[in-house]
A and B are shown apart, each in its own frame.
Chain A
Amino acid sequence: MPVTEGRKGLVNVCYSGTGQATVAEMGEWSITGMSLPMIEYSAFGNTVQRFKPGIMDPGSFTFSGYFDGSTWAAASNPVRLLTCTLNNGIPIGNSTIAASIPLKKLRLWANTDSDLESFGFWGTTNSSGTVYITGLEVGTAKDGIGTVTISGKVATGYFEWTTSTA
Chain B
Amino acid sequence: MDDLFSAIYTEFSSVPLSSFHSGTSGQLYLEEAESTAEMPYAVYNMVNSNHDWTWSSDFEETVFDFNLFSDSTGGATEITALYEKMKDQFDECNLTVTGYESLKFRRENAWLSKDSNAIPNKSIWQYTVQYRNLIRK
Contact = CB atoms under 8 A, between A and B. Distances in A.
A145 B53 contact: no
B111 interface: no
A88 interface: no
Contacts, number: 26
Nearest to B101: A70
A65 B103 contact: no
Interface in A18-54: 22, 24-27
Contacts of B55: 8-11, 22, 25-27, 65
Nearest to A27: B54
Say what secondary structure dominates the interface of chain B. Answer: loop
Interface string B64-106: 0000000000000000000000000000000000000001001
Contacts of B54: 24-27, 65-66
Contacts of A65: 54-55
Nearest to A64: B54
Interface residues of A, number: 14
A46 B23 CA distance: 92
A8 B54 CA distance: 10
Contacts of A25: 54-57
A26 to B, nearest CB: 5
Nearest to B59: A145
Nearest to A66: B54
Nearest to B57: A25
Contacts of B53: 7, 27
Nearest to B52: A27
A137 B120 CA distance: 62
A9 B106 CA distance: 31
Contacts of B56: 22, 24-26
Given A8-B55, A26-B55, A26-B56, 16 more contacts: A7-B53, A9-B55, A10-B55, A11-B55, A22-B55, A24-B57, A25-B54, A25-B55, A25-B56, A25-B57, A26-B54, A27-B53, A27-B54, A65-B54, A143-B106, A145-B103
15 contacts: A7-B53, A8-B55, A9-B55, A10-B55, A11-B55, A22-B55, A24-B54, A25-B54, A26-B55, A26-B56, A27-B53, A65-B54, A66-B54, A143-B106, A145-B103
Interface of A: 7-11, 22, 24-27, 65-66, 143, 145
